[in-house]
Structure 1
Amino acid sequence: MRDRLPPALRRGPAFWRRSVQARVVVSTVLLSAAVVGIVGWFLIQQTRDGLLDNRVAAVVQEAEGETEAARTDLAAASRLDLDESAQQQALVEPIQARGATRGFAVVLSPPVGEDLRLADGGAKFTEGLDLSSVPATLEDHFDSLSATAWTYTDIRTTRDIEGLPEGPGIVVGSQVRLPADDKTYTLYYLYPLAEQQETLALVSRAMLIAGVPLLLLIAGLTWLVTRQVVTPIRMARRVAERLAAGQLQERLRVTGEDDLARLATSFNQMASNLQKQIRQLEELSRLQRRFVSDVSHELRTPITTVRMASDVIHDARPFLDPVTGRAAELLQKELDRFETLLADLLEISRFDAGAAVLETEDVDLVDVARRVVDMTSVLAAQRDTRVVLHDPGYPCVAEADVRRVERIVRNLVTNAIDHAESEDVEVYVGADRQSAAIAVRDHGVGLGPGESAMVFNRFWRADPARARTSGGTGLGLSISLEDTHLHGGWLQAWGRPGEGAQFRLTLPRLLGTQLRHSPLPLVPTDARETA
C-alpha cells in the first residue's frame, strides 16, 4: 500500500524525522493556533456576553415602559363602561402597533390563576406568532403574581412578521390588572437577537480572517529564524560527513562573532587536531608495517640457517646425553612456533600491502569443517575436550578460497579449544540461497562487555596472564578477519562471562554478492534461553 502513495507522501515521514526546522515550524504554528484559538474564543465569549447584557437591559427597560404605559391607560379607562374583551383589545392593540414599528411581538395571556396555558386558547397576540415561542418555564413562573422576569427563547412564526425574524430571542414577562374584571394578566414581549447574531458573526469572521494570515506570518517568521540556526548546523553536518569520508582538509566557514561562529571555530580546531593526529597515526602505522615487513623478510634467511642447524642437532639426539637431547627437542619446538609467527607476520604484511589475492573455487563448508575437526582432534584430546560437528545433512557450497577458509575455521576451533574449560566445542554449518556460514561455540570463560569487537585486534588477549596451549601467535583472529573481508563476508563474535562464546563466519554463496543476513544465529539458542 505504501508503494501506491505519491513520492512526496512517501518521503514525508523521513523528512519529518530528519528536519529539525520542519518540526520547530509545525510545533510553533500548532501552539500559536491553540493560543489564537483560545484567545479568540475568550474574546468572542466576552463580546457575546456584552451584546446580550446590553440587549437584555434595553428590552427589559422597554418592556417595563410598555407595561407602565398600559397600566396608566387602564387606570384612565377604568372609569369608562367597557367590557372585559373590549378592554383586553384596547390594551393589546396599541402595544402591537408599536411592536410592529420597533420590532417586537406581544402576547396577552389568559387571567392568572385559572390554570390556562397559552396553547389552550384565549390569548391575544401579534398575528403570525407561534405561541410556543413563549417557554413553558416562563409560563409556570407567572402562574401566580410575580415581578417582571425574562429568559432566552427561540422565536417561531406561522408566517413572516416584518421586523421579527425567526431565531434566538428574548422574552420578557410583566403583569397588569384589568379593571373590567379585576383580574391579573401577563404580557409577554418577544424581542429578536438577529442584530446581535450578525454582530457576533462579523466579529468571528474578522478574527478568522485575521487569524489565518497571523498563523502564516508566524510560520514564515519561525522558518526564517530557525533557518538562521539550522543552516550552520547543516553545513557542519556536511563538513563532518566529508571529514568522515577522509577529506580531512574540509573546514567550516566562520562569519561573525556569535555563538554559531564560535562553534564553527571550535569545530575547525577540532578537525585540525584530528587531522594532525590521524596523519601521525598513519605515519606511525606505515612505519610499523614497514618495520614488520622488513623484519619478517630479513629473518627468513637466518631462521632458515638456524632451522638447518636445529634439524642436524635434532637428528643426532640418540648420540647426545639426555640434557642435550631435551634441549634439542625444545629448540625444535620453539623454532616451529617462531616459524609460525614469522609466517603470520608475513601474511599480515601482505594484507597491509594489499597484495593478498583469492584463488576461488566452489567449496563445501561441511567438508572444510570436517577436515578441521579431524585436524584438531589431537589438540582437543590433550585439553580433555571434544570438537563436535553438527552436520546439516546437505552441502553448504560457497565460492571461496579453500585454503583461507580452512585457515579461518582452524583458527576459530583452536581458539575455542584454548578457552573451552574441558567443555565440548560445537561446530555448526548452515546455508541458504544467498549465504553460507560456520559457527564455532564453546562453553568456557566467555567474553566480557566490549571484548567481542576487540578480540580481532592484533596480539589482543582477554586475559594476558592466561597461557596459550595451542601455540598461537595472537594474530590468528586478525588474519581470519582479513581473510573474511577478502571474501566480502562477516566474521562476528558473541560472548558472555561464564556462558562461553560463539564465533560466526558468514560468506556469500557467490563472490561479490552483498551479504544481508546469515543462515546461522550469532547468539546461541541456549544462551537466549538462559538470558
Structure 2
Amino acid sequence: MAARSRAAARELARAVVGRFQGLAVALHQTWRRSLQIRVVTITLVASSLLVGGFAYLVADKITNILLANARTDVRLRLDSGRDYTAKQMAIYTEPQEAGLDDTLLNTVDYLAGGDPAQISGVVVGLRADRSSGVIEPQTSPDLNVSAVLTPELRAEVSSGKIARQIRTGDVGAGRTKYLVYGSPVPTRVGQVELYYLVPLTRQEQTAAEARATVLATGAALVLLLGLLAALVTRLVVSPVRAAARTAQRLSAGLLDQRMTVNGEDDLALLAASFNQMATNLQRQILRLEEMSRLQRRFTSDVSHELRTPLTTVRMAADLIFTEREGFDPAVARSAELLQAELDRFEELLTDLLEISRFDAGFAMLDAEPTDLVPVVHRVADRLRSLADRIGVPLELDVPDAPVIAEVDPRRVERILRNLVGNAVEHGEGRPVRVSLGLDDTAVAITVRDHGIGLKPGEEKLVFNRFWRADPSRARQTGGTGLGLSISLEDARLHGGWLEAWGAPGQGAQFRLTLPARAGDRLTTSPLRLVPADAALPFTGPRDGGPLAIGPAEGGVLAVGPGPTGPGPAPAGAGHRGAHERAV
C-alpha cells in the first residue's frame, strides 16, 4: 500500500511538472512570436517599476512630513508643560511635603487636557527616578507606561537631557505606536521627569491612505499605459502582419496578392511600396518565366532538329571512319577526329535533351529494387581505361553483401559515371576512392579524390551548368559541362542529396545519398561528407603510394531537397564485410 501511494505521488508530481513545463514552453513560444506581447509586457514592467518607485517616494515623504509635524507639536507641548510643571512645584522645598502628590496629579491632568476619557489619546506622565519611593509616579490617564518608557530613555532624561523615541506597546488602551518625548524639570525638591506619549494612529492612517491612493493611481496609470502600448503596437504590427501574410502568399506563387492601403501615413506608404514591389516582381517573374519557357523550347527544338542532320552526318562519318585505312594519313587522321567530335556532339545533344526534360518537369523516375554493388563495379570497369591512361589508381570500398535500394539504375549509374569521371579528371595522378555504405533507411556513395580540390566558395558553384573550376586545364574526357548538373537533378528526382566538400590541395569528396525505399524522406546519411583524412594536407606520391593527410579548410555544400545530413560519422559507417579492390 505504501509503495502504491509513493508511485501515485510520483506520477502526480510528474504530471504537475509536465503541465508546468508545457505552460512554460507555450509562454516562451508566445513571447518569441508576438512583438505586441513583448512590447506590452516591457511597457507594463517598466511603468510598474517607475510608478512603484514614485509611490514609495511619495508615501515616504508624506510619512516624514506627518512625523515631523507630530514632533514639532509634541516638542512645543513639552516645553510648555515643563514650564507649567516648574511653576506648580515652585512652592515645595521637600519631597515629603503634604500635597505634593496631589499637585503632581493635577498637573498631569491639566497637561493631558483635563479630559479623563483621553479622546486625543495623549498620555502625560511625571516621574522622579532620583526620588524613587518618595515621590510616586503620576500619569494621566492612569495607565501603565512601563511598556513604552524604556530604561535607556529614562536614563537619558534622568541625566538631564531631552530625549525622544518611537515605541509600540500596550499601555492599557490597546497596542499602539507612540511618539515618546521626555524632558527633565528642575525643582526645589529635586529633578522631576516629564513624559509625553502621543499616539501616531492618525498619522499612520493618513500615510496608509496616501499610499493606497498613490498605488491605486499608479495601478490605473500602468493599466492605461499597457492599453495604450497595446493599441499603438497593434496599429504598427497589424500592417506588418498583413505584409508577412501577403509575402507568404507571394512566395507560394499567388502573385496577384496585394496589401490594403488605408490613409496616407507612413504605414500606408509602406503598403503602397510593398504593392508596387509585388507588381514589379510579378511582372519580372512572368517575364523570366516566359524567357525560360522560350529558352527551354528553343533548347528542346534545336536538340531535336539537330538529330536528323546529325544522323545523316553520323552515317557518312561511320562510312569514312570504316574506310580510313585506305586513305592518305592526313585524311585518315581527319576521319578519326571527325568521329571523336561527332561522339562529343552527340553526347552534348543527349545532355541538352535531358536538361530540357528536367526543366520542363517531364523527367520520370523508373525505380526498381537494385543491387548497387554491381553498379559501382560497372562504372569503375568502364572508366578503368581512362584512369590507367591518366595514371590514377581507382580504389573501391564496397560491402560483400548486396546493397539493395529502390532506385532508377540508369540514373544512378549516370550520376556515378559523372562523379568518378570528374574525380579521375582532377585526381592529379593520386588515388580515387569510391565507397558504398548503407543503414536502415538510406544508401550512400562517396567519391574521394586528392587532386587540386576546391577553393572556398567554389563548392557552391560546382553544380552549375557549364561551370569549370579551372577553365585553363586541358580536359581528358571531353565532357559537356552538364554532367554534375544532370547528376544533381537525378539525385533530386530520387528525393536524395548530392553534396560536395573540397579544400585547396586536399582534393574533394562528393556524396550521393538516396533513400532505401522510394518516396521515403532522408534524415541521415550512412557515410560522412567531410572525409576522415581531411585533417592533414596530402603529401603522398603521385603513384598511389602511402598517404600523409593534414588540416582541412574549405567549405561544404549540401544540395538537394532535404537537410545536409548528420555531422561527421566514423569512416566507412554502414559497411558490412567491406573489402577494397584496386581497379
TM-score range relative to shorter protein: 0.7 to 0.9
Given that residues 96 and 105 in structure 1 are in contact (C-alpha distance below 8 angstroms), is that contact kept between their aligned partners in structure 2?
no
- Unaligned segments of structure 1, at least 5 residues: none
Go from structure 1 to structure 2 and tell me whether the alpha carbon gap of 1:310 and 1:5 turns closer, same or farther (over 3 Å shift). Answer: farther
Q: 2:165 maps to which residue?
A: 151
CA distance in 2, matches of 1:169, 1:394: 98
Given that residues 365 and 438 in structure 1 are in contact (C-alpha distance below 8 angstroms), is that contact kept between their aligned partners in structure 2?
no
Deviation at 1:462, TM superposition (A): 2.8
Q: 1:54 maps to which residue?
A: 69
CA distance in 1, matches of 2:214, 2:337: 99
Go from structure 1 to structure 2 and tell me whether the alpha carbon gap of 1:374 and 1:95 turns closer, same or farther (over 3 Å shift). Answer: farther
Matched, 1:166 2:175: yes
> Counterpart amino acid of 1:334?
E
Alignment of 1:70-469 (within 5 A): 70-75=85-90, 77-78=91-92, 83=96, 87=100, 90-91=103-104, 94-95=107-108, 99=112, 101=118, 102-111=120-129, 128-129=143-144, 131-142=146-157, 144-146=159-161, 148-152=162-166, 154-157=167-170, 160-161=172-173, 165-180=174-189, 183-391=190-398, 395-469=402-476
Go from structure 1 to structure 2 and tell me whether the alpha carbon gap of 1:206 and 1:315 turns closer, same or farther (over 3 Å shift). Answer: same
Matched, 1:486 2:493: yes
Deviation at 1:129, TM superposition (A): 3.3
Work out the number of aligned pairs and report it. Answer: 516
Given that residues 108 and 125 in structure 2 are in contact (C-alpha distance below 8 angstroms), is that contact kept between their aligned partners in structure 1?
no
Given that residues 155 and 192 in structure 1 are in contact (C-alpha distance below 8 angstroms), is that contact kept between their aligned partners in structure 2?
no
Q: 1:25 maps to which residue?
A: 40
Match of 2:518, SS? coil
Deviation at 1:289, TM superposition (A): 0.9
More off after superposition, 133-142 vs 207-216: 133-142
Match of 1:520, SS? coil
Given that residues 60 and 150 in structure 1 are in contact (C-alpha distance below 8 angstroms), is that contact kept between their aligned partners in structure 2?
no
Go from structure 1 to structure 2 and tell me whether the alpha carbon gap of 1:368 and 1:96 turns closer, same or farther (over 3 Å shift). Answer: farther
> Counterpart amino acid of 2:512?
L
> Counterpart amino acid of 1:276?
R
Go from structure 1 to structure 2 and tell me whether the alpha carbon gap of 1:19 and 1:466 turns closer, same or farther (over 3 Å shift). Answer: farther
Match of 2:89, SS? helix
CA distance in 2, matches of 1:301, 1:360: 31
Deviation at 1:175, TM superposition (A): 0.2
Match of 2:424, SS? helix
Go from structure 1 to structure 2 and tell me whether the alpha carbon gap of 1:250 and 1:91 turns closer, same or farther (over 3 Å shift). Answer: same
Deviation at 1:221, TM superposition (A): 1.5
> Counterpart amino acid of 1:221?
L
Go from structure 1 to structure 2 and tell me whether the alpha carbon gap of 1:485 and 1:176 turns closer, same or farther (over 3 Å shift). Answer: same
CA distance in 2, matches of 1:5, 1:373: 60
Deviation at 1:123, TM superposition (A): 6.0
CA distance in 2, matches of 1:73, 1:13: 78
Given that residues 451 and 508 in structure 2 are in contact (C-alpha distance below 8 angstroms), is that contact kept between their aligned partners in structure 1?
yes
CA distance in 2, matches of 1:326, 1:498: 38
> Counterpart amino acid of 2:254?
Q
Deviation at 1:400, TM superposition (A): 0.8
Go from structure 1 to structure 2 and tell me whether the alpha carbon gap of 1:170 and 1:396 turns closer, same or farther (over 3 Å shift). Answer: farther
Given that residues 155 and 167 in structure 1 are in contact (C-alpha distance below 8 angstroms), is that contact kept between their aligned partners in structure 2?
yes
Deviation at 1:498, TM superposition (A): 3.7
Deviation at 1:205, TM superposition (A): 1.9
Go from structure 1 to structure 2 and tell me whether the alpha carbon gap of 1:68 and 1:315 turns closer, same or farther (over 3 Å shift). Answer: same
Go from structure 1 to structure 2 and tell me whether the alpha carbon gap of 1:520 and 1:186 turns closer, same or farther (over 3 Å shift). Answer: farther
CA distance in 1, matches of 2:519, 2:228: 52
Deviation at 1:439, TM superposition (A): 2.3
Go from structure 1 to structure 2 and tell me whether the alpha carbon gap of 1:135 and 1:482 turns closer, same or farther (over 3 Å shift). Answer: same
Given that residues 67 and 176 in structure 1 are in contact (C-alpha distance below 8 angstroms), is that contact kept between their aligned partners in structure 2?
yes
Go from structure 1 to structure 2 and tell me whether the alpha carbon gap of 1:354 and 1:525 turns closer, same or farther (over 3 Å shift). Answer: same
Matched, 1:471 2:478: yes
Given that residues 105 and 129 in structure 1 are in contact (C-alpha distance below 8 angstroms), is that contact kept between their aligned partners in structure 2?
no
Given that residues 158 and 193 in structure 2 are in contact (C-alpha distance below 8 angstroms), is that contact kept between their aligned partners in structure 1?
no
Deviation at 1:36, TM superposition (A): 0.8
Deviation at 1:17, TM superposition (A): 1.3
Deviation at 1:137, TM superposition (A): 4.5
Deviation at 1:369, TM superposition (A): 2.9
| Residue-by-residue CA offset, 1:82-141 (whole Å, 9 max, x unaligned) | 5179636742564267546242334545546x9x9x9xx986667553535334553453
- Unaligned segments of structure 2, at least 5 residues: 1-13, 536-550, 554-583
Deviation at 1:366, TM superposition (A): 4.0
Using the size of structure 1 for normalisation, the TM-score is 0.88
Go from structure 1 to structure 2 and tell me whether the alpha carbon gap of 1:193 and 1:427 turns closer, same or farther (over 3 Å shift). Answer: farther
Deviation at 1:38, TM superposition (A): 1.4
> Counterpart amino acid of 2:249?
R
Given that residues 149 and 174 in structure 1 are in contact (C-alpha distance below 8 angstroms), is that contact kept between their aligned partners in structure 2?
yes
> Counterpart amino acid of 1:355?
F
> Counterpart amino acid of 1:242?
R
> Counterpart amino acid of 1:172?
Y
CA distance in 1, matches of 2:138, 2:430: 110
Deviation at 1:26, TM superposition (A): 1.1
> Counterpart amino acid of 2:37?
A
CA distance in 2, matches of 1:363, 1:130: 105
> Counterpart amino acid of 2:261?
V
CA distance in 1, matches of 2:41, 2:398: 59
Go from structure 1 to structure 2 and tell me whether the alpha carbon gap of 1:54 and 1:292 turns closer, same or farther (over 3 Å shift). Answer: same
Deviation at 1:473, TM superposition (A): 0.8
| Residue-by-residue CA offset, 1:23-74 (whole Å, 9 max, x unaligned) | 1111111111111111111111111111111111112222222222211111
CA distance in 1, matches of 2:513, 2:529: 10
Match of 1:485, SS? helix
Go from structure 1 to structure 2 and tell me whether the alpha carbon gap of 1:350 and 1:145 turns closer, same or farther (over 3 Å shift). Answer: same
CA distance in 1, matches of 2:83, 2:96: 21
Alignment of 1:4-43 (within 5 A): 4=19, 10-43=25-58
Deviation at 1:4, TM superposition (A): 4.5
